[in-house]
Every structure is written in C-alpha cells, then in structure tokens.
Amino acid sequence: MEETKFYHALKIDNDRCVGCTHCMTKCPTGAIRIREGKASIRKGWCVDCGECLKACPTEAIYVEQDDFQKIFDYKARVVLVPTVFIGQFSKYTTEEEIFSALYELGFTHVFQVEFTADMIHREMPVISSFCPAIVRLIQVRFPAPVDNILLVKPPVNATATYYHKVLEEDGFSSEEIGIFYVTPCAAKIASLKGAEGYSSTIKGVINMDTLYNKVYHILKNRPKNYTPECVLPPSLTKKEMRWSQTGGETKHFSGRCLAIDEIHNVIEFLERMESTTEVRNVDFLELRACDRSCAGGVLAVANRFLTAERVMKRSMKRDKAPLIYSDRLEALSYLKQHITIRPLQPNPKLRYEGNIEEVLKKMEQVRKLMCYLPGIDCGACGSPNCQALAEDIVRHEAQ
C-alpha cells in the first residue's frame, strides 16, 4: 500500500523553543520529541490538531499562512468566511459592518462557507469528513474505520467549487478567480494545501486571527455614525449557520447519531469503539478535534463559548431564510457532479519497521527495557512517557 503524504501547517521556531516539554505532553498522537533541547514533530504521526500550539508558553509553535497581498494577484478576490468568524465579534457588530470591512480590505466577493451545507447528502452508517484533523487521526491511529468516512466534500470545498463555477458563469476566467478561505485551525490549512499544493478552486488561506485584527482595526476607526454599504452574501439557513457547531450535523439525521468534540474525547471514544461492544449500531458520528468544534479553533480570537453563543443567537433569525440555488442551476448541477472525494487510505503510524519476526523481536526489547525504566512518565528524557522512550531506543532514535 502506497503511503499517504501529509502536508503540515504547524511549524516550530527553534530560536524561541526552550525545550520545556509542554507541547510534547499535550500531543494526542505522541508525535513530538525533545532532542538537543528543541522540540521536533514526527510528521507521519502529526494530525495538525493544534494542541501543541495552545500549550507552547513561548509561542515557538506557529501556523503558517499565505501573504495577504496575494489576494491582489486576482481580478475576482473572493473570501470564504465561516460562521465562527462572524461569532468573533460582539452581538452589537452587524454582519453588514463586518462584510463591508472585508470589501475595504480589497476583496471583491464575500461568500459564507456553510452555504452548501444543505446540499451535502449522506448515506449511513458514516463518520463525518468535516474535521480534517479527525480524518487524519483515523488514518494514522485508528485505520480500521477509514472506509466509514463520508466521501463527500466538506462545506469549504463544496462552497469553493460552487462559487468558482458561479464566477465563471459571470464572465471571469479561472485564472482571474482567487478564492481565499478564512481558517480557524491548522488542520484545514494542511487539508486544503495538501502534499500537492492548493486545489484549482482555493488559491490560499488566511488565518482567522490575522483577518480578525484587520477587520477590527477598520471597525474601530470608523466614524460613530458610519453606515456601511455593501453587497451582502446569500443568507444562510438556520441549519447552515449551526453546521460548524458541536451537534450541528447530528441534529439533522435520523437513527443513532453521536456528536463528540475535543480530540482527547474523540480518541477515548474511538478506543472504546475498538475494544468493547458498547458502541454498536451507530448510524452517524460527528467527530471534531476542537472543544466546541470550530468555535474553539486554535486560530480563533474570541472565547469559544461566547463564539458558539453568538452564532446560535444569530442563527435564531434565520428560520425562514430561503434556499436560493434555483437561479444558478448550472453551478448547482456542476457541484452535484463534483461533490464526492476519492477514497481515503489508512496511513497507520508504524512503531517499528521490518517483517513480523523483526517487529516481534523489537517488541520484546521494549518489554525488557520497561523493566529498567522508572515508569513515572515525567518527559525529562525528551519522550512523552517511558513506553515511548523504550520504543525510541529500539528504533535507535534515543539512548
């Protein structure tokens, strides 16, 4: 089986890293080691969940992003805004004010990511493909249920596909269209960019904290009685606005549906699903890596609970929002033809290399080493725990 190549958006600044082990102890997949006083990420094991970024006290871990000036390389400068970005602002800030600020920054079109959520159909039993960190987690650590992951584009990809076609219908060539996604997390950057670079529809990403600061600066410096004037993007339905929240998907499907957020909770659940018969006959699993889902993304600025509350309150006004796809039948038909993704492949992290006899021999070596290690899992050795140290020694990666 050919190994899946992952792109990673999380980077380490060695000049800032002090080797404190905070990131290593928080990593849910054991992908981080401290070697020669600096943290390093084992790329084959990392799922870009961002737990290490949140734990780092020196800001040595960061998420790369594209140069904002890149948007001016295109005639049609499109920004895809998730609902959690709107939730970063207080209830007193209107969507008109936020969208008008985005136009002032240089964008020519503003669209909302969840616009195509109502178009996404599912066949059960499945695991949601919404969160790329969870998709990678399953590929790396729980490869058995990979075939159960929904092979449908998540809203960001579906919306980019839809609006790219809409803009082509409006007379823009493909080379003139630059669609930029505002991301609340590193995993979405890694997923969108991938090992082969960005897709033909999405040309770049903008970190949510960066764009928030730009928009906030514009709003703060506006005159007191300023009245924004801009073309508003198509209105989202109540269902679409809540799609990125915990339970946003499961509420709309029948059968036994479970929604689990925060990556450690997800890992515990998947381990239970593997080892017991308690988790059976589940029709749909909504798994999210961040606490409160995208509201708790590592690139979000506002408190995750306040963000979730603001999105919910804004969505209450959308009960009767119409579905307005009928005037773009060609784009809708195109999206339906390109809504699926190719089958995913398991990419389990290999603890040892070699044939079965060599692997068993190495496992025995680890068992013997564990008899001499203290078992206190302090992390002082540069590995997350004593078991990991023993495995690193057998792999000749530690002493």
Q: Which residue has the tokens 């499945």?
A: 126
Tell me what percent of the residues of the chain surpass a pLDDT of 70. 94
Q: How many CA atoms lie within 13 A of 18 on its CB side?
A: 6
d(CA 388, CA 366): 9
> Ramachandran region of residue 317, left (φ > 0), alpha (ψ -120 to 50) or beta?
alpha
Q: What pLDDT sits at residue 349? A: 81
Q: Which residue has the tokens 């450690």?
A: 264
Q: pLDDT per residue over 75-110, tens digit each?
A: 999 999 999 999 999 999 999 999 999 999 999 999
Which tokens hold the place of 254? 């029948």
Distances (CA, A) of 292 to 80, 95, 238, 262, 300: 21, 22, 18, 7, 12
Q: Per mean pLDDT, which range of 55-69, 311-325, 340-354 is the poorest?
A: 311-325
Tell me what percent of the residues of the chain surpass a pLDDT of 90. 74
In 3D, which of 321, 337, 316 has the Cα closest to residue 242? 316
Which tokens hold the place of 110? 């503003």
pTM comes to 0.92
Q: Which residue has the tokens 């699903």?
A: 273
Instruction: Name the amino acid, one letter, at 265.
Output: N
Is residue 78 classed as helix, strand or coil in its secondary structure?
strand
Q: What pLDDT sits at residue 354? A: 87
Phi, psi values for residue 348, rounded to 5°: -60, 140
H or E stretch including 364?
Answer: helix 356-370
Tell me the average pLDDT across 228-249: 90
Is 228:96 a contact under the CB 8 Å cutoff? yes
What one-character DSSP code corresponds to residue 196? T
d(CA 243, CA 308): 11
Beta-carbon neighbour count of residue 327 at 10 Å? 8
d(CA 127, CA 114): 19
Distances (CA, A) of 113 to 162, 179, 362, 382: 11, 11, 48, 41
In 3D, which of 342, 312, 397, 295 has the Cα closest to residue 153? 342
Q: pLDDT per residue over 271-321, tens digit each?
A: 998 887 777 788 899 999 999 999 999 999 999 999 999 999 999 887 655
Higher pLDDT, 118 or 62: 62
Q: pLDDT per residue over 190-227, tens digit each?
A: 999 886 678 889 999 999 999 999 999 999 999 988 99
Q: What pLDDT sits at residue 332? A: 84
Instruction: Name the amino acid, one letter, at 227.
Output: T
Instruction: Name the amino acid, one letter, at 356.
Output: I
d(CA 97, CA 21): 43
